Amino acid sequence: MRNWTIAGTLTVEVAAERPDLLAEPVAKALARVGGEAGVVAIDPELADTAAFCEAYSSPMSASANCVVVAGKRAGEVRYAAALVLATTRADVNGVIKRRLDVRKASFAPMDEAVELTGMAYGGITPVGLPADWPILIDKAVADSPELVIGSGVRGGKLLVTGELLSSLPGAEVIEGLAKAAG
């Protein structure tokens, strides 16, 4: 198994061997895409990125956040997932709005995002999302050799490469998807 340098104080296990740390759609998707993914068990109360990084000594610069964005066009709701480094924020009303071809884009309501993804809020990840959703990946994420992302549940985190994320069905690498935070 790969030596994940971003794991901090956590013990990394092979994701395929710990389905209990993955939401069901995540486990199924990982089996389909293959690739090397690690998983770590965490305290569910520490699933939010800043708390996770501080508690487990994992670098914030190696964490990526997945947000579910929704927009309407001609009465049809269009969804996408955006993946950006935790040190940045997604350009929802610029790049994502144009990509979805909608008048206004915003974060999907929590209950809607949870229901549509089959994942826990705070653990939503691009792995295992509905097949018809575009997965918009900031170029900085795609270029990362190691990343910590959600596992679909609050009690786990996935360790993956940008290359694996870029190979997901529906993935689109976009330069400038993220803006500086602040």
CATH number of residue 126's parent domain: 3.90.960.10
Residue for token pair 């190979």: 167
Does some domain include residue 5? no
Show the domain range for 80.
13-180
Q: What is the mean pLDDT of the chain?
A: 95
Per-residue model confidence (pLDDT) at position 137: 98
pLDDT tens digits, one per residue of 78-111: 999 999 999 999 999 999 999 999 999 999 999 9
| Residue 1 clears pLDDT 80, i.e. is over it | no
Residue 65 lies in a domain: yes
Average pLDDT over residues 123-140: 96
Predicted TM-score (pTM) of the model is 0.94
Q: Decide if 123 is inside a domain.
A: yes
User: In the sheet where 135-138 sits, what is the strand order?
Assistant: 105-107, 64-73, 76-85, 135-138, 171-174
Rounded CA-CA distance 97/173 in Å is 16
Into how many domains does the chain fold?
1
Q: Can you spell out the DSSP letters for 6-75? A: T-TTPPPEEGGG-GGGS-HHHHHHHHHH-S--EEEE--GGG-SHHHHHHHHT--GGGBEEEEEEEEEETT
